[in-house]
Amino acid sequence: MLKDGIDIVCSNIINVIDIEEIFFGIEEEGVPYILKFLEDEKIDKESYVNGRFEIGIGINSDGEILLNQKKYTKKYILRENIESSKRNLRIFGQNAARLLKGLPLKKL
């Protein structure tokens, strides 16, 4: 069975504990996610927006976190860093889910 959700593609050198608040924010909005680890050079927009929902999060080895949608033509919709506060990372996750659900995004 194929699991659907927001694709999160993360550099394989990032510690999951550093990004878990993103997961919590997505879960709070009742949306599933799929976490994948790749080598850093393989993380680009196409690697995380090609899922069923065409919305995804990319996290590179520098700690840059990008939220994007396949049809969005600019580099990213939202950007954050793993060094941000837990609150900001949680809101980032909530906003990813809210984008999927068509709801207004929360302000940081």
Mapped to the 3 state alphabet, what secondary structure does 26-90 carry?
A: HHHCCCCEEEEEECHHHCCHHHHCCCCCCEEEEECCCCEEEEEECCCCCCCCEEEECCCCHHHHH
Q: Tens-digit pLDDT profile for the chain (108 aa)? A: 345 789 999 999 999 999 999 999 999 999 999 999 998 777 888 888 888 888 999 999 999 999 999 999 898 999 999 999 999 999 999 999 999 999 999 998
pLDDT at site 1: 33
Q: What angle do CA 73, 76, 77 make, to 5 degrees?
A: 95
Q: Which of 66, 56, 61 is nearest to 31 (CA)?
A: 56
Cα distance between residue 82 and residue 71, in whole Å: 25
Cα distance between residue 57 and residue 20, in whole Å: 13
This prediction has a pTM of: 0.92
Cβ(37)–Cβ(86) under 8 Å?
Answer: no
| Tokens 């694709």, located at residue | 7
pLDDT at site 5: 85
pLDDT at site 3: 59
